[in-house]
Chains A and B, each alone.
Chain A
Amino acid sequence: MNSIASLAIALAVFSGMGLSLTAQEKPGAEAIIEKSQKAFYYAGADMRAKVVMNLITDSGQKRTRVLTMLRKNDPKSEDQKYFLYFHEPGDVRRMAFLVWKYPERDDDRWIFVPALNMARRVAASDSRSSFVGSDFTYEDVSGRDIGADTHTLLREEKLGASDCFVVQSVPKARMDYTKKLSWIDKATSLPVKEEYYDAQNELARVFTADKVEEFTAQGGGRKASFSIVTQRTMKNVKSGHRTEVTYSDVALNLGLEDALFTERSLQNPPAKWIQ
């Protein structure tokens, strides 16, 4: 770990300690979640990663998806653009998704079907639906509108080596889940673990951040450090199905152009970014 990162963590821990001194200055649950979403979904101005996703059934059958993910944040808002290019399985090679994400309204999505050499607009399905057949929902992958839930700070506790805030988020509208508990690392603001409770008020899905790595990148003229969850698992405890995701070749602040995130580039994927 480089010195800047350790300094950042030390500062974060210190400020966390400082905040815990007086009850009044305690961060609100909403602020914690907001900060966590920023760290988790918005790291850097843009990001590229090679993603390996393993879908594993209860009986051990496995499907693997390998894709390149490009992400760019809109500098002026919370909007984001994603470009997902599939390498595997073999018969879907070159298939690609383009997602323009807006926190408070439906996404715009496009898909490219190589066998038909055709890009099509896809209606934003329920953001709670499964992301490419995995145990993650679209929302789990790209974030959820903070105002859609009521957040409560339940307690602070140590989970493994991390000092965590435990925040409960209850959806305001009726959803497929009734509440979510998040253990948020005070140091990195990243979620260490999340528990989703279903309509029967039973634990249904568990997210765990299994490995967090530090990456440095140029940002605003100087080097910045980012904590990225490079291994994560979402397990459906009811069906026994789980999805393991590993990031590699992570790079941030690459200066990805807006032109990358257009329907045109679905047909002609940017070879530079997706080897």
Chain B
Amino acid sequence: MIARLLDRLSGFSADHPKSVLVLVLIVTLAFASLLPRITVDTDPKHMLPVTSPVRQYNDQVEKDFALHADVIVLGIVNEGGIANRATLSRIIELTRAIQALPGVISRDVTSLSTIDNVLSEKGELIIRPALERVPESPAELEAFRKALLENPLFVNRIVSADETTTAVYVPIDPKSNGKQIADAIRSLLPRDPGQDRFYIAGDPVARDTFGTEMFRQMALFSPVAGMIMCLLLWLMFRSAALVAANMAVTMVSIVWSMGLLIGLGYPVHIMSSMSPIFLMAIATDSVHIFNEFAFRFPETKSKRQAILETMSAVGGPVFYSDVTTAAGFASLATAPIIPVKIFGLVIAFGTLVILLLSFTLVPAILALLPERSIPRASAGAKGEGPAGLVRFGAFCVRHGKSIAVMGTVLLAVAGVGLALLRVNNNMVHWFKPNSEVRTADRVMNAHLGGTSLGYLVVQGRAEDAIKDPAMLRGIENLQRELEKDPRVGKTFSVADYVKRINRVLHGDAPAFDRVPDTAGEVGQYLFLFGTSAKPSDLDNVVDYPFQRANVQVQLKSWDAGVMRDVIRRTQAYLAAHPLPGDAAVQPAGTAYFNLVWNDEVLWGMLASFSVGLVLVLVLLTLQMRSLLWGLLAFLPLLFTIALIYGVVGLIGKDFDMPVAVLSTLSLGLAVDFAIHFVARFRERYRQKPDLDQALIWTAARPGRGIFLNAILFAAGFAVMVFADLTPYITVGVFMAAIMLLSALASVMLLPGLVRLFQPVLFKKGGAP
């Protein structure tokens, strides 16, 4: 019934091409009128909804401890040591200037000139900023140096142990853009830095730079990819009209889908900014129509007849391959991340638009094609198909068994790779190794405690639980345990402040660099500290009722796995050495957020992937009206995906968020070629029941369409290899590989498999 409907639709379009064109134009203009309402959202943080529990929990922890989620780190490195007058006065000036920047939370900017030092000098207790003014004399400079390095609270946090590096921690308003503030800080840096080198790192910089760059790169690569596809299409068919037809389908589908997205009031997020390039690639599906038309025209000599025959021959596979593609993308709607959900649905909609256009706009344009230009388009398409592909098809039929064996071996190797897959995510690695973001991160992590920050929140049983010396000693021991991991560069807690004050109040005697014995002392030390230091110093590590303490853990890597290990180590340690009152410890902070986000996305993607697989299999079975044939068409898809992920595992690339998102995207695309192959083969076999000849014909004639489509698609995405962001490179390589591999897998594996399972597939000896 669907076939009849599609035939009538394409017949109508071929007979009334101008009306179809006008109609498409009107609808397109209607959607285009919505485009100016575009709003853009470059913040990857919006990937998780505000209501997600980890976001809410993290917000609460930050509120309770007066912490800030978004902190930019400005690193200042001077190989000769930062304790020189030029660098120090620079630190004071820069800190002041940064505090005046809009979007910066001035009161909590932490640098040498704002961080409180607690020390004892000639019997006097001193609590004041470490660098109040630039030391004048060499003796003063030396005293400053000593004071700095002797305070364990500072080393690896605000100054490196080798004195070459210091950091300015710049918390920013969560509503402001990290890249813009980083750029503003950059503009404050001296033109003539002398021996000083400056690095800007931190989660908001990476995140917002990524968001901005993503848009920029998409704006750059989408048109380039489009042009390359047009050029290739022209080389394939030598027909400007066919190129125009393909371009029209692409543009119309992009305008309709983006118009719908914007019209519904959604912002264009970094994810949906990739829609155009995906739709461009999916629209290459019309190559199957062009290819068959190129064959049919010389056979029929009548344009109308050729169009009708073409549409009726490829209509089925085009319809089903587009529907499976749409289904694959629509399965993203089950993902936990809203922008991914929206992206999936937009592409699914766009694919259905392409489907509609394939049966309306494409035949209409073909009908308007001047007849004399067609022979040129048909130059490469004669009779049984290109000689090379005929030979290739024959080879695949002849060596079906060997190919199957080889495929099995490859699958086994891929299995090893799959077992090696390492699930991880590291946003800094989304930038190239030599990029500014990644260099800054590397340098800062080499010198200081780490740019990634996690929290461990100790939950006492009652108020003042944290003042218990046993509790503080427990926290201190936990810190020492965590620091055994070389990726943990620094930890600090309220215990560190208490120890410091104990020592300073006892004339700086090293013997008192410990937690005192009574809760009374602890309470008074903390009060004393709280009366003189910045309030946030204490607020950051202990809550108001002294019931909960926050242990800050600086990590030298953004790998989600590092925080996972910190949590594991904490749990193992606490099991053996419980805190007083069995106080629980709960993780929080950006590092933890990233870990949870990572897991949620990955598992969500895996779920979408499974849904997609089932959906595709169901659709294949429906189309083939047979579970066996459905499974057969399903095999090249499985093979392709197993092989690709096997390679990812074997080369040691992390299975990270971009790869996870891609897995679902690839589903509906990788199955297309098998659909074309199986459908066209069965059609052919019904007409001429010679198994080998039918297989060779399929490999050669629709095979040409398959390969042309794969090459076009791959070429479009291959451009992204030149992107600056590694996820784009991943997308480019991945998509190109999937298309080429699934084209090869379909054409090479299917003939052998059809022959191998011939007895089961053709049960009654009749037509399949």
Residues on A lying within 8 angstroms of B by beta carbon are 55, 57-59, 61-63, 86, 89, 91-92, 95, 97, 111, 113-116, 118, 120-123, 125-126, 129-134, 174, 198-200, 204, 236, 238-239, 241
Other than A120-B125, A133-B535, give 17 A-B pairs with Cβ distance below 8 A. Answer: A61-B543, A61-B545, A62-B544, A95-B524, A95-B527, A97-B531, A123-B121, A123-B124, A125-B126, A126-B128, A126-B132, A129-B128, A130-B531, A132-B530, A133-B531, A198-B106, A238-B105
| Nearest opposing residue in chain A for B129, CB measure | A126
Residues on the A chain within 8 Å of B516, using CB: 115
- Whether A116 touches B532, Cβ cut-off 8 Å, given contacts A58-B63, A199-B100, is no
Determine whether the beta carbon of B544 is less than 8 Å from that of A125: no
- Rounded to whole angstroms, the CA-CA distance of A178 and B543 in the bound complex is 31
Residues on the B chain within 8 Å of A174, using CB: 96
Q: Shortest distance in angstroms between A241's beta carbon and chain B's nearest beta carbon?
A: 8
Residues on the B chain within 8 Å of A122, using CB: 124-127, 532
Residues on the B chain within 8 Å of A129, using CB: 128, 532-534
Residues on the B chain within 8 Å of A236, using CB: 107
B614 within 8 Å of A (CB atoms):
no
Determine whether the beta carbon of B530 is less than 8 Å from that of A239: no
- Rounded to whole angstroms, the CA-CA distance of A122 and B66 in the bound complex is 27
- Whether A91 touches B104, Cβ cut-off 8 Å, given contacts A57-B544, A120-B505, A123-B125, is no
Determine whether the beta carbon of A200 is less than 8 Å from that of B104: yes
The 25 sampled A-B contact pairs (Cβ below 8 Å) are A58-B63, A89-B523, A91-B467, A91-B520, A91-B523, A92-B524, A92-B527, A114-B520, A115-B518, A115-B520, A115-B524, A116-B521, A120-B124, A122-B124, A123-B127, A129-B533, A131-B531, A132-B530, A199-B99, A199-B106, A200-B101, A200-B102, A200-B104, A236-B107, A241-B535
Interface string of B502-532 (1 = CB under 8 A from A): 0001000000000010111101110110111
Nearest 4 CB-CB pairs, A to B? A91-B523, A61-B544, A123-B126, A133-B530
Residues on the B chain within 8 Å of A58, using CB: 63
- Rounded to whole angstroms, the CA-CA distance of A216 and B680 in the bound complex is 106
- Rounded to whole angstroms, the CA-CA distance of A97 and B528 in the bound complex is 10
B600 within 8 Å of A (CB atoms):
no
- Rounded to whole angstroms, the CA-CA distance of A259 and B525 in the bound complex is 27
- Rounded to whole angstroms, the CA-CA distance of A234 and B505 in the bound complex is 31
Residues on the A chain within 8 Å of B107, using CB: 198, 204, 236, 238-239
Interface string of B92-118 (1 = CB under 8 A from A): 000010011110111100000000000
Neighbour of A59 across the interface among B63, B102, B125, B464, CB < 8 A: B63
Determine whether the beta carbon of A113 is less than 8 Å from that of B121: no
- Rounded to whole angstroms, the CA-CA distance of A123 and B118 in the bound complex is 10
- Rounded to whole angstroms, the CA-CA distance of A198 and B99 in the bound complex is 9
- Rounded to whole angstroms, the CA-CA distance of A92 and B520 in the bound complex is 8
- Rounded to whole angstroms, the CA-CA distance of A223 and B208 in the bound complex is 67
| Nearest opposing residue in chain B for A123, CB measure | B126
| Nearest opposing residue in chain B for A236, CB measure | B107
- Rounded to whole angstroms, the CA-CA distance of A46 and B274 in the bound complex is 73
B433 within 8 Å of A (CB atoms):
no
- Rounded to whole angstroms, the CA-CA distance of A180 and B105 in the bound complex is 19
Determine whether the beta carbon of B106 is less than 8 Å from that of A123: no
B193 within 8 Å of A (CB atoms):
no
Determine whether the beta carbon of A130 is less than 8 Å from that of B534: yes
Interface string of B528-556 (1 = CB under 8 A from A): 10111111001000011100000000000
| Nearest opposing residue in chain B for A60, CB measure | B544
Determine whether the beta carbon of A118 is less than 8 Å from that of B100: no
Chain B residues with a Cβ closer than 8 Å to the other chain, count: 44
Determine whether the beta carbon of B523 is less than 8 Å from that of A130: no
Determine whether the beta carbon of B528 is less than 8 Å from that of A133: no
B64 within 8 Å of A (CB atoms):
yes
Determine whether the beta carbon of A132 is less than 8 Å from that of B520: no
Q: Shortest distance in angstroms between A184's beta carbon and chain B's nearest beta carbon?
A: 26
Residues on the A chain within 8 Å of B523, using CB: 89, 91-92, 115
B62-89, CB < 8 A from A: 63-64, 66
- Whether A125 touches B128, Cβ cut-off 8 Å, given contacts A132-B531, A238-B107, is yes
Residues on the A chain within 8 Å of B538, using CB: 133
Determine whether the beta carbon of B123 is less than 8 Å from that of A121: yes
Q: Which of B105, B521, B544 has the largest number of chain A CB atoms within 10 A? A: B544
Neighbour of B505 across the interface among A95, A113, A132, CB < 8 A: A113
- Whether A123 touches B527, Cβ cut-off 8 Å, given contacts A199-B99, A200-B100, is no
Neighbour of A111 across the interface among B63, B104, B125, B530, CB < 8 A: B125
Residues on the B chain within 8 Å of A57, using CB: 63, 66, 544
Q: Which of A95, A129, A236 has the largest number of chain B CB atoms within 10 A? A: A129
Residues on the A chain within 8 Å of B63, using CB: 57-59
Q: Which of B106, B107, B129, B532 has the largest number of chain A CB atoms within 10 A? A: B532
- Rounded to whole angstroms, the CA-CA distance of A111 and B102 in the bound complex is 39
Q: Shortest distance in angstroms between B422's beta carbon and chain A's nearest beta carbon?
A: 40
- Rounded to whole angstroms, the CA-CA distance of A46 and B123 in the bound complex is 31
Q: Shortest distance in angstroms between A89's beta carbon and chain B's nearest beta carbon?
A: 7
Residues on the B chain within 8 Å of A204, using CB: 106-107
Residues on the B chain within 8 Å of A62, using CB: 544
Residues on the B chain within 8 Å of A118, using CB: 505
Residues on the B chain within 8 Å of A89, using CB: 523, 527
- Rounded to whole angstroms, the CA-CA distance of A241 and B102 in the bound complex is 20
Neighbour of A130 across the interface among B123, B128, B505, B535, CB < 8 A: B535
| Nearest opposing residue in chain A for B127, CB measure | A125
Determine whether the beta carbon of B64 is less than 8 Å from that of A61: yes
Q: Shortest distance in angstroms between B623's beta carbon and chain A's nearest beta carbon?
A: 58
Q: Shortest distance in angstroms between B544's beta carbon and chain A's nearest beta carbon?
A: 4
Residues on the B chain within 8 Å of A116, using CB: 505, 521, 524
Residues on the A chain within 8 Å of B525, using CB: 113
| Nearest opposing residue in chain A for B519, CB measure | A91
| Nearest opposing residue in chain A for B104, CB measure | A200
Q: Which of B467, B531, B532, B543 has the largest number of chain A CB atoms within 10 A? A: B531
Determine whether the beta carbon of A200 is less than 8 Å from that of B106: yes
- Rounded to whole angstroms, the CA-CA distance of A114 and B528 in the bound complex is 11
Residues on the A chain within 8 Å of B125, using CB: 111, 120-123
Determine whether the beta carbon of B532 is less than 8 Å from that of A125: yes
Determine whether the beta carbon of A111 is less than 8 Å from that of B534: no
Q: Shortest distance in angstroms between A122's beta carbon and chain B's nearest beta carbon?
A: 5
Determine whether the beta carbon of A199 is less than 8 Å from that of B96: yes
- Rounded to whole angstroms, the CA-CA distance of A226 and B519 in the bound complex is 43
Residues on the B chain within 8 Å of A200, using CB: 99-102, 104, 106
- Rounded to whole angstroms, the CA-CA distance of A121 and B107 in the bound complex is 28
- Rounded to whole angstroms, the CA-CA distance of A204 and B99 in the bound complex is 13
Q: Shortest distance in angstroms between A48's beta carbon and chain B's nearest beta carbon?
A: 21
- Rounded to whole angstroms, the CA-CA distance of A238 and B523 in the bound complex is 29
Q: Which of A133, A198, A238 has the largest number of chain B CB atoms within 10 A? A: A133
- Rounded to whole angstroms, the CA-CA distance of A84 and B48 in the bound complex is 50
Q: Shortest distance in angstroms between A37's beta carbon and chain B's nearest beta carbon?
A: 24
Residues on the B chain within 8 Å of A133, using CB: 530-531, 535, 538
Q: Which of A62, A89, A113, A241 has the largest number of chain B CB atoms within 10 A? A: A113
Residues on the A chain within 8 Å of B527, using CB: 86, 89, 91-92, 95
Residues on the B chain within 8 Å of A134, using CB: 535
Q: Which of B66, B505, B535, B545 has the largest number of chain A CB atoms within 10 A? A: B535
